[in-house]
């Protein structure tokens, strides 16, 4: 159920959108980037992590290997995040600035997709590569600029030389696609996970107002309600066997409460009444968290807001 709460939360605060928040873009998809090198990092061993009627790949890295890495990188690996390391020269001075290619790639890396915190990005110098030896030794990183993308299975891809934000985003998307999509054997779970993935993508492309004013805000809330109705219909169309009827009913209950919250927000905003101060006044956050735990237990990685695998 990715971003369900965020959709309503954004709608609640549409009035402040132009003074506090900045609209963000959608994830970009372009043809795959040709990698300079791709190889698993040493010390990584894949082990299966079964969930109900699912098979999800998990990767373990020895504690002694983690201990050799910088703490922030080791923490990201333990959290099963995608790593992005920008490798740049370290000889810039006040009178001799960073090389143009290094500077351009560094600036592009700042603007790449982070997938709500599931991607950890860090800039390092060529001289510091020795500190990341367990991850990069076999990747042949010998020059700057270079961008190293390491997936959850600790397989690395290197983009060497000048690359733009779109190319880096695609490398990140490819790494995530290869390492986080589980193989789900249960037909219902597979179908409902696909529904979640499809509507999560719709949410990332949700069109917030590009101009200020009540009319544009109300139009955006109506688009949110329309998206919710389509989402509910899609979940209803997937037939659930007896063992998953409870999960389906719970999912629909949360979605319908979300829709009711959006409709109430629309009523308040249209009538000029005060808007609620938090999303908790419109939806049942406690029930949504319970559903999130059920998604995780079933291995529905595209549905879970806070993934545990």
Distance CA 147, CA 99 (A): 15
Q: Are strands 82-88 and 54-60 parallel, antiparallel or unpaired?
A: unpaired
End-to-end CA distance of the chain: 15
Could you tell me if residue 272 is left (phi over 0), alpha (psi between -120 and 50 degrees) or otherwise beta? Answer: left
| pLDDT given at position 68 | 84
Domains located in the chain, CATH noted: 4-24+205-298 (no CATH), 38-183 (3.40.30.10)
pLDDT at 62: 76
What pLDDT, on the 0 to 100 scale, is given for residue 7?
A: 52
Residue 69: is the preceding peptide bond cis (ω within 30°)? Answer: no
Spans of the chain, pLDDT less than 70: 1-61, 91-96, 178-183, 278-280, 306-309
Residue with tokens 């990092």: 41
For the stretch 243-280, pLDDT in tens is: 999 999 999 999 999 899 889 888 988 898 877 776 66
Tokens of 130: 């020795």
Span 166-190, pLDDT tens digits: 999 888 888 887 666 556 778 999 8
């Amino acid at each position: 159920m990715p971003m369900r709460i965020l959709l309503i939360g954004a709608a609640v605060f549409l009035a402040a959108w132009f003074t506090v928040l900045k609209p963000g873009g959608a994830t970009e998809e372009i043809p795959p980037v040709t990698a300079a090198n791709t190889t698993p990092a040493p010390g990584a061993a894949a082990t299966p992590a079964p969930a109900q009627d699912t098979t999800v790949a998990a990767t373990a890295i020895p504690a002694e290997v983690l201990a050799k890495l910088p703490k922030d990188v080791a923490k990201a690996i333990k959290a099963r995040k995608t790593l992005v390391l920008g490798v740049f020269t370290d000889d810039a001075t006040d009178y001799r600035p960073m090389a143009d290619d290094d500077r351009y790639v560094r600036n592009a890396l700042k603007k790449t997709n982070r997938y709500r915190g599931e991607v950890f990005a860090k800039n390092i110098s060529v001289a510091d590569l020795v500190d990341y030896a367990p991850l990069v030794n076999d990747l042949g990183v010998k020059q700057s600029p270079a961008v190293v993308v390491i997936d959850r299975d600790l397989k690395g891809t290197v983009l060497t030389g000048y690359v733009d934000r779109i190319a880096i985003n695609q490398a990140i998307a490819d790494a995530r696609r290869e390492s986080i999509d589980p193989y789900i054997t249960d037909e219902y779970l597979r179908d409902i996970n696909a529904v979640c993935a499809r509507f999560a993508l719709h949410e990332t492309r949700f069109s917030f107002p590009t101009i200020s004013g009540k009319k544009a805000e109300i139009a955006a809330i109506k688009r949110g309600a329309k998206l919710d109705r389509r989402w509910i219909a899609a979940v209803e169309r997937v037939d659930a066997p007896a063992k998953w009827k409870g999960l389906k009913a719970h999912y629909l209950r949360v979605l319908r409460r979300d829709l009711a919250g959006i409709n109430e927000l629309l009523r308040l905003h249209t009538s000029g009444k005060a808007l609620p101060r938090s999303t908790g006044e419109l939806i049942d956050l406690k029930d949504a968290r319970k559903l999130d735990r059920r998604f995780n237990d079933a291995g529905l990685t595209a549905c879970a807001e806070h993934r545990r695998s």
